[in-house]
Every structure is written in C-alpha cells, then in structure tokens.
A and B are shown apart, each in its own frame.
Chain A
C-alpha cells in the first residue's frame, strides 16, 4: 500500500470522527436528566451550590459553545475531567481499556479457532450431517442473547460443576504488576504461571459468551466462501497437479476463502470492543463497557463522549487493518 494511500485513509478519519462527535454530543446532552441533579441527589444542596457546580462543570454555557470547547480540547487530546472521578477522562478510560481489549482478543481467538475449521469442514463435507449440524449450531449461536448464554455458562461451569470462577478478572490471592494492563500478558511477562492460569480460568466464560456468536457468524461466512472457492477451476487444476487433498484445501482454497472472513472478523472485533457492555456486566468484568454503562446512567458527559469517539476510531482503524490484510491475501487488490 502506498504512503499517499495510507495518508488518504487517515484523512478520511477526520469527517467520520467529526460526525460521530456531533451525534454523540447531541444525543447525550439532549437525553433527559441532569448530571448535577444526579450527583447531588442525596444531598440537601442549595440553589447557589447547584449553580456553582453547574458553572464549575461548564454546564451553564450554551450548547454550541460547549460543543466548540469540547472539539477544540478534544483535538488537543483533552477530553476533560470525568464528572465523578474528578480525574481526566483519558486516565479513567486508559485504566479500564486493557481489560476490554484483553476480553475482545480472547473472544476473537475463540471465534476464529472455532469458526475456520468448522467452516472449512462444513464446506468440504457439504450436505452431510456435519454441515447440517454446523448450520443449526450457527443459527443458534447467532440468535441467542449474550446475557442469557453467559448466565447459562455461569450456572453450569461455576455453580454446578464448580470448575470456573463466577466473575472478575483475577482471584484475590493473586497480584500482578501492571505493565500492559492485560492480566494474561502481564502474568506471562512476570513469569507467573499460577496467575496466568487463574486469569485464564476467569476469562474463559466471558470469552466463550462473546466469542461463540462471532464464531457462528464467521463460520457461516467461511463456509459460504469456501463452497464458492472449492468450485473454482484453480482447485481442480491444483488437484490435477497431484497435490495432496490437505494442501489443496489448506493452501489453495483457504487463502482465497479467508478474504471475506477477514473483513467480517475485523468488523466483529470492532463490534466486540464496543458491544460487550452486557457481558462485562454479567461477568463483573472491569472493562470499558461497564464504565460506559455506568457513565450513561450518571450523565457523565465527558466520559461517554470520549469513549464513543474511541469506539468509532477503533472501528475505522480495524477496517483499515482489514484492508491491509486484504492486500496480502489477494494480490490483485493493490490499494
């Protein structure tokens, strides 16, 4: 990919992010409910105190002016103070983000490890019981709600079988120095296999809950493109060369069949990063999703704005990464 093309891609980010910030700003400020009232709900605050706090937080200014301030500061990387934490929003988010990234990556790993082999097998053994089982399982995976499936998993593995913890990221007995903020990686960096195992046990159920629906989707995409690729002339020609079945499937077919899978996987990763509020809540996972939910309830404007902008940015960047992967898989596309 040429540099000018990369620069062009980055410039495309500007209008997208501007649009997102306008929408978020309007939606959250126009939502009924006043952060000051929520903050002071339990206290007998005087009118003056309320007015002072409102002035302090800049809420007394007109909407347009507030938006302008927000934009000017945001461009400089300043998203303001979180109303409740009384700390910069960026710091609060940075603290919670690694947990979400860790969960997303683990879920995606589950999804890919389940989806690609099953999708390939379903396509190769098309119209057999295996293919039908995958179709039914896939439908189930796509249609079941995450909170329900998560609770079922907790009931089975944590409550009944007592194999895995109910929630959280790491047992109380463990403490790992924070380097990346991702407990699994930090444990490995510290050479702590015991805490790695414990963190793995904690992440297993939420990762399954988030990963399986994505796996179902990716499997269907992989199967469909694999079926198409298997009918291609170059597969017959590869077989005519006398290559082994495995080589034909794993190299000639899969490399072509993965092109749509990569795109969908990137979109899914974005969706998982920004869409795991429910699962984080069910499993008590201290990630960004839960923080955003709490902040929305508290009308914590600066935090919600920053988080949503971050989601949008990640989403666009992931698509960008998918495009780059695309060019390696498909040499005909030179971006």
Chain B
C-alpha cells in the first residue's frame, strides 16, 4: 500500500491529509481522578490512509488504546475528548450527534479488543453476538438472514463446523477461536477501518500468526485499513507499513515501519528495540529502559522521556515538537542528530 508521502506525515498544521480515511489533529483525552487530571492523550496527530496498515506501539499507559477509543467515541464520562480535527471519511466526528457516531461504530470503523474472553458477553451465544451488529446496522433484513450470515462469517474467520457452533457460548470456545469470533463480529459490517487493540497478546505463540494472517487476508480482500495497537515490535515490523510510537500520551516518533525500525530517531524507539531479545546475537543481554513512565497527572514540561533518556541535555526541559527528521518521518526529539551518529 503506497500512501502519499506528504499525506501520512503527522504535522502540526490542522489541515487533514487529502484522501485520508481518518485524520486526527491535536487529540486530547483527559480523565479527572482523585489524584488530579490524567492527560491520557495529549495532542496526538495522525492520519490513516484507506487500506493502509498503521502500527501503534508503546508500553501500557502510553495512551495508544485511549487514542483509538477516543476516535471511536467510546470514552465515558467523566473522561473528555477534544480535538482540532477528527475526520473520518469526510465526517467531522466532533460535530456528529451521539446517534450519528453510533451508526459509524461497528459499521464503518470496528474494534477488536485484547482479551476476547472478556470482550464477548458470557451471557449470550456467539451467534447472537454476531447477529446483533448485522441487525442493528440493517445489513441483513431479518433474524433468519442474520443467522445465516453469522454462520458464514464464522466460516470465513476459520471456525470449523460453524453451523453447529453458532449457538454455543463464548466459554465453550478455545482462546484462538474466541479471538476469531471477535474478529468476525468486528468485520460483520465490512468496516473501512479496523482498530485491532493487542489482537495477539492474549494468545499462544502458535495461534498468533494464524490470527494475524487472518486479519491480513481480510484486509487484502476487503481493502480495509488497519490500526494495529501493540507493544510487540516484531508484529509491527511484519504486518504494518507505517508506525507511530507513543510515549506518555504523545506520539514521539512516526514514519515508514521499516525505516523507523532500521534507524530510530527517538531514544525511546531505540530503547524499545534494544530491549528485544535478538535472534542474530542470542547471547547479547536484553537492555531494559531504566526508570518508569512519568505520572500522567504530573507531567514534566519538555520531553517526557528525558528522565529515562541517556542522551538528555538541559535543553530537553523545554517543550519539544514533533519535527520532520527525514523523508516521511518525524520525531519529537532535539537530540536526533546525536542519536543518528
């Protein structure tokens, strides 16, 4: 998938990239808590082109899931979402009514969650849960057609003897099969954008590749765009074209996946890569990033990574913008030069 170079560049200008399926500018999501206001997402800019696969990586609490729950309109009060731009297929999501946004959810943009066991309702059969979306969005005319389509969808995601298992409950399926059912539910309405939140984290290694292949196949056949939220850089390297690295509510680096992973321009990305076990040098020690993610209620001014960063200098305490660092790439770091050398 070849996205226009300029279009996939998240920049500070508020003009949505031409032709983008999803355009986000200055997205901010905050949650008031007893300890103070949590800035879960703090000024995220990104574009997703039709049919593109974007990887979003970062550790727990980096805001990657919250960013896309905000896009879906699933942040519950007292959490609040603001954005300069939040466009999807020409719709200004911030101006749509709750009902209008609901009509887009599940139909045009769909979500799969990390743990299918907790995402599927234990009290209803999988068939019921697949049929529901079909009927809500008027994709099928009646319950009988919905049932047939549910069986067909289960077959398409690779569940053997789907017709016999459509009336079973989620707990009667294995972990991999449940993940497939969740994908079947998400894909029921043939959405243009699938947001897959940690689709393989809860799965056995052997099942992971199967589930990712399935998502890939469906993406190719439906021309669907994919946002793959994960902390697994291996998965991102294999399955995505573009990458956004998030840290403490901000995007710290973005660009073509291969280029970013080959030569990271942000110390955090480099730290993530260094903390992977290496196949080519199995004896080399795994390097953990020292320190902890800053408290999201008390974010320091300036670079949020500076306290864990080996390259930090005094100037890092000043606010740092996401700036271009090469063709189609951007990083939120003033020490990019030092990193490159």
The answer to whether A and B belong to the same complex is yes
Contact partner of A331 among B72, B111, B171, CB < 8 A? B171
Do B105 and A240 touch (CB < 8 A)? yes
A244 vs B169: C-alpha distance in the bound complex, in angstroms?
22
Is residue B182 contacting chain A, with contact meaning CB distance below 8 A? yes
In the complex formed, the residue of B with least CB distance to A253 is B121
- List residues of chain A with CB within 8 A of the CB of B248: none
Find the residue from B123, B133, B185 having the highest chain A CB count within 10 A: B123
Find the residue from B111, B119, B171 having the highest chain A CB count within 10 A: B119
- List residues of chain B with CB within 8 A of the CB of A10: none
A237 vs B69: C-alpha distance in the bound complex, in angstroms?
11
- List residues of chain A with CB within 8 A of the CB of B122: 234, 256, 330-332
- List residues of chain A with CB within 8 A of the CB of B278: none
Given known A-B contacts A240-B110, A242-B136, A255 and B123 have beta carbons under 8 A apart: yes
Contact partner of A233 among B103, B110, B119, B185, CB < 8 A? B119
- The smallest C-beta distance from B244 to any residue of chain A, in angstroms, reads 21
User: Number of contacting residues on B, CB 8 A?
Assistant: 30
Do A240 and B120 touch (CB < 8 A)? no
Do B111 and A234 touch (CB < 8 A)? no
- List residues of chain B with CB within 8 A of the CB of A105: none
A89 vs B120: C-alpha distance in the bound complex, in angstroms?
54
- List residues of chain B with CB within 8 A of the CB of A12: none
Contact partner of B132 among A241, A329, A331, A332, CB < 8 A? A241
Main secondary structure of the interface of A (DSSP, over half): helix
Do B169 and A239 touch (CB < 8 A)? no
Is residue A49 contacting chain B, with contact meaning CB distance below 8 A? no
Is residue A243 contacting chain B, with contact meaning CB distance below 8 A? yes
Contact partner of A237 among B120, B123, B171, B189, CB < 8 A? B120
- List residues of chain B with CB within 8 A of the CB of A331: 122-123, 169, 171
Do B185 and A241 touch (CB < 8 A)? yes
- List residues of chain A with CB within 8 A of the CB of B104: 242
A-B contact pairs, 13 of them (CB 8 A): A233-B113, A233-B115, A236-B74, A237-B120, A239-B74, A240-B74, A240-B186, A241-B185, A243-B133, A247-B132, A255-B124, A256-B123, A331-B123
Chain A positions near chain B (C-beta within 8 angstroms): 232-234, 236-244, 247, 251-252, 255-256, 329-332
Known: A234-B119, A255-B124, A332-B122. 19 other contacts (CB 8 A): A233-B113, A233-B118, A234-B118, A234-B120, A236-B69, A237-B119, A237-B120, A237-B182, A240-B72, A240-B74, A241-B106, A241-B132, A241-B133, A242-B136, A243-B132, A244-B102, A244-B136, A251-B124, A330-B122
Chain B positions near chain A (C-beta within 8 angstroms): 69, 72, 74, 102-107, 110-111, 113, 115, 118-124, 132-133, 136-137, 169, 171, 182, 185-186, 189
